[in-house]
Structure 1
Amino acid sequence: RVPIGVVGVLSPWIYPFLTSVNAIVPALMAGNVVVLKHSFQTPLVAERYAKAASKAGLPKGVFQILHLDHKNTAQLISDARMDGVFFTGSVQGGIAVQNSLTNKFIPCGLELGGKDPAYVMANANLEKSIEGLVDGAFFNSGQSCCGIERIYVHESIYDKFVDSFVETTKQYQLGNPLDAGTNLGPMVKTDAANYVRKQIGEALGKGAKSLVAESLFKASKKETPYLSPHVLVDVDHSMEVMTQESFGPVVGIMKVASDAEAIALMNDSQYGLTASLWTDDMDRATVLARQIETGTVFMNRCDYLDPALAWTGVKNSGKGVTLSKIGYEHVSRVKSFNFRKGD
């Protein structure tokens, strides 16, 4: 295999080092030149990368950074000197990247949105499931690429699960992240919080119920990025909160009667990044995991990344692979040498 050449890495504001390093380091190790364009919300991350590259002694020009708007980013991607591009962001952003590549054929990796589901099976360890899924839903105020956004629970344990899930959620302390007692901070900006508020309002208008009173969280106020955690029941797939990416502190919980119903609902999505199964039966989990339309399936864990495993999505969650040995195949290309001796 040989390097692709000049690789563009387009990185988001969320986890600004982690999401970018997954593409930058393999690309450099594979022998490519990397041009990093970071989010306009996190420009100093790009500057720190540049300083680190210089301090590490990388040859001049091997790693470069650019601060660009959308128009100039499209020009960068479509430039004839670019040999590959790797983007992390929204579905709309991924479409824009692909549209910029209509005049050439180069590798294009896209890590896009998700609506990651969890299924709590009848034989699940309730205590561990609740602990893991509350954290999976509300870690970083729900702003995680593979955070849990919808939960399906077997009817035999549904009531117990919901009651304990709600009580655990109430233990969060929403506030300034610089305060020692805070374990749930604000969303990235007010517009993002308002989008989630709109989803919640739409669900409530269609009959959903919110089981955690916003009044418990005094920092949660309209027209601010501070939004309390919301646990919604009596939800269904006619509601945006169960079908469109929220990327905020809200999760819907549905009762299911069987594994087949749970799998059908999990797959009823335009997204396919990760899913999680909560059970003590690994054999059954393996059977169900093969039926779930996502790039990764977890058992008894969620919102987790293992560098040894390929990170990929299906459907509108994107294409391509980062991490693992397979990730290197996407920042290099096959080249055949067919030599014949002169004699």
Structure 2
Amino acid sequence: MTINAATTELDRPRFFIDGQWATPNGSESIPKFEASTGRLLGTAALGNAHDIDAAVRAARRAFDLGPWGRTTPAERAKVMFRFAQALRAHEGVASDLVSRENGMPITLSQPFNDVAPAALLDMYANMVLTDPLETVQPSPSGATIVRREPVGVVGAITPWNFPMSVAMMKIAPALAAGCTVVLKHAPDTALDSYLIAEAAAEAGLPAGVLNIVLGDRDAGAALVSHPGVDKIAFTGSTAAGRLIGAECGRLIRRCSLELGGKSAAIFCEDGDVETLLAGLSGSSFMNNGQTCTAQMRLLAPRSRYREVVDAVAGYADSMVVGDPLDPATTLGPMATEHHLARVMGFIDDARDNSEARLVAGGGRPKGLDDGWFVSATVFADVKPSDRLSREEVFGPVMSITPYDTEDEAVEMANDSNYGLGGSLWTADEQKGIDMARRIRAGNIGVNYWILDMDAPFGGYKDSGIGRELGPQGLEHYFEWKSIMASADQL
């Protein structure tokens, strides 16, 4: 690929370690190209095991010797509120940059990259202010003080699809609990995490409490196995999650894993097609399909199958594909050239090696010769055993499969190694709720789908271990301690 231009003001030659900008141990760097044009945005240093070690040692000092591990909830909340204010002061910068990095439409990027990170800091700061860390209960010999304490140093490993918000889904509860953090950010969005570091520095977060190193799989492996780390919080692929979980098991190290999905949307016989179409932007095609909860398996009743297929194909054809910074755009490019090739591989395989019928999209949109664009793609007559039904595409490629009974639809939805998201579309909400209770997935919408920051988020089966968001997301960053004392403590 030809590099058309360099934007040197976005270069990131250093890491944020121990409260300052640190020179990398090595000389390796990675270029980051704009998803919609293929032009160079900037270059970032790539960390190695020595950089990870420096970051973990800084976090360890801040927890064991520095003030953070001994702060009160009120003291931590005060700093977190300042952190949130610093992020808000630069509103618009993060959303613009992330959209250029990974193709996220700006109308989605603004809430997820400008608003959500600050909101998460505020939410968890308020949570520890109002939720007592100690309770006292009677015991057979007196009283027991039940206490929550921070787990220690957290290694956070985050993906490229929702980079700012997913990073803060780990950073905010960790800081609220009193932990210190090493964030290993994804190279595919190499530039945006440093906005978090700049805001942390402006807010006066003590040195070593938050450290940020950009790195590849080797840096991630170094973080997972580092003896100074107490917990790993990971969001990414199921394949990587298996390796991380195995290593954490070997080390007896706490971990939470938010992994892949192949979510199903069930359109019921009494469902309203217009309601389904209105919800597809959030349930299925959110972030160009580059979303782990994307409901790209649509199950439709045979009695209304043709109607649903035609409507969804028409919706896909009507999507506005183009510059992610244009508010009119509803489908931006894939994040990288490599990822575009992966998505096209699924499309080509379904077209060439299955009986599925292509009814919309299937290639690069006309007139968009630069960047990494693919049209919204829909295949009908996809069998439950087809690769397109089984594997996560992570792009705007939907499969539609017929069913005869709602019991069969639930069985098909559960016939997956994954269990992250799902949705039901029906005129009878109570029926939809009852069906949702039968589906083995962590997040299910009835006639719409959103990410509720106040509720737990995570998956069943190969979609992960543990939950993020809500009060449940805070609990992963605490250890429980029981102190046996006299009845005078009651």
> What is residue 471 of structure 2 aligned with on the other side?
325
The counterpart of 2:167, out of the listed 10, 17, 20, is 20
For these two proteins, the number of residue pairs brought into alignment is 340
Q: Distance in 1 between matches of 2:199 and 2:282?
A: 33
Question: What displacement does 1:91 show?
Answer: 0.9
> What is residue 94 of structure 2 aligned with on the other side?
none
Q: Distance in 1 between matches of 2:311 and 2:432?
A: 24
1:312 aligned to 2:461? no
C-alpha distance after superposition, 1:191-241 (max 9, x if no partner): 2222222222222232111112558930467x9621111111011023211
| Shift in CA distance, 29/126, structure 1 to aligned 2, threshold 3 Å | same
Q: Distance in 1 between matches of 2:188 and 2:339?
A: 14
| Shift in CA distance, 281/300, structure 1 to aligned 2, threshold 3 Å | same
Q: What does 1:23-34 align with in structure 2 at a 5 Å threshold?
A: 23-34=170-181
Question: What displacement does 1:13 show?
Answer: 0.8
| Shift in CA distance, 282/172, structure 1 to aligned 2, threshold 3 Å | closer
The counterpart of 1:301, out of the listed 444, 448, 461, is 448
Structure 1 unaligned regions, length at least 5: none
Structure 2 unaligned regions, length at least 5: 1-147
Tell me if the contact between 1:134 and 1:168 (Cα under 8 Å) persists in the aligned partners.
Answer: no
Which protein has the bigger helix share? 2
> What is residue 263 of structure 1 aligned with on the other side?
410
Tell me if the contact between 1:307 and 1:323 (Cα under 8 Å) persists in the aligned partners.
Answer: yes
| Shift in CA distance, 54/60, structure 1 to aligned 2, threshold 3 Å | same
| Shift in CA distance, 341/158, structure 1 to aligned 2, threshold 3 Å | closer
Q: Distance in 2 between matches of 1:181 and 1:340?
A: 66
> What is residue 375 of structure 2 aligned with on the other side?
228
CA RMSD of aligned residues (A): 2.0
- Greater CA deviation, 171-180 or 40-49? 171-180
> What is residue 218 of structure 1 aligned with on the other side?
366
> What is residue 154 of structure 1 aligned with on the other side?
301
Tell me if the contact between 2:364 and 2:374 (Cα under 8 Å) persists in the aligned partners.
Answer: no
> What is residue 213 of structure 2 aligned with on the other side?
66
1:191 aligned to 2:342? no
Question: What displacement does 1:134 show?
Answer: 5.2
The counterpart of 1:133, out of the listed 280, 291, 308, is 280
- Greater CA deviation, 178-187 or 253-262? 178-187
- Greater CA deviation, 278-287 or 320-329? 278-287
Tell me if the contact between 1:214 and 1:220 (Cα under 8 Å) persists in the aligned partners.
Answer: no
Q: Distance in 1 between matches of 2:282 and 2:308?
A: 14
Question: What displacement does 1:177 show?
Answer: 2.4
Question: What displacement does 1:341 show?
Answer: 8.4
Question: What displacement does 1:102 show?
Answer: 4.2
1:35 aligned to 2:182? yes
- Greater CA deviation, 251-260 or 184-193? 184-193
Tell me if the contact between 1:191 and 1:225 (Cα under 8 Å) persists in the aligned partners.
Answer: no
What is the TM-score of this pair, normalised by structure 2? 0.66
Tell me if the contact between 1:293 and 1:314 (Cα under 8 Å) persists in the aligned partners.
Answer: yes
Tell me if the contact between 2:363 and 2:374 (Cα under 8 Å) persists in the aligned partners.
Answer: no
C-alpha distance after superposition, 1:59-115 (max 9, x if no partner): 111111123332232122212211111000011111221233244212201011000
Tell me if the contact between 1:22 and 1:323 (Cα under 8 Å) persists in the aligned partners.
Answer: yes
What is the TM-score of this pair, normalised by structure 1? 0.93
Tell me if the contact between 1:210 and 1:231 (Cα under 8 Å) persists in the aligned partners.
Answer: yes
The list of structure 1 runs, each at least 4 consecutive aligned residues, that deviate by more than 4 angstroms after superposition, is 213-216
> What is residue 135 of structure 2 aligned with on the other side?
none
C-alpha distance after superposition, 1:119-150 (max 9, x if no partner): 01111122111221255322322111211211
1:335 aligned to 2:481? yes
1:287 aligned to 2:423? no
Q: Distance in 2 between matches of 1:149 and 1:50?
A: 35
Question: What displacement does 1:52 show?
Answer: 1.1
Q: Distance in 1 between matches of 2:254 and 2:474?
A: 12
> What is residue 80 of structure 1 aligned with on the other side?
227
> What is residue 102 of structure 2 aligned with on the other side?
none
> What is residue 207 of structure 1 aligned with on the other side?
355
Q: What does 1:165-180 align with in structure 2 at a 5 Å threshold?
A: 165-179=312-326
Question: What displacement does 1:175 show?
Answer: 2.4
Tell me if the contact between 2:316 and 2:361 (Cα under 8 Å) persists in the aligned partners.
Answer: no
Question: What displacement does 1:39 show?
Answer: 0.6
Q: Alignment partner of 1:75: what SS?
A: helix
Whose radius of gyration is greater, 1 or 2?
A: 2
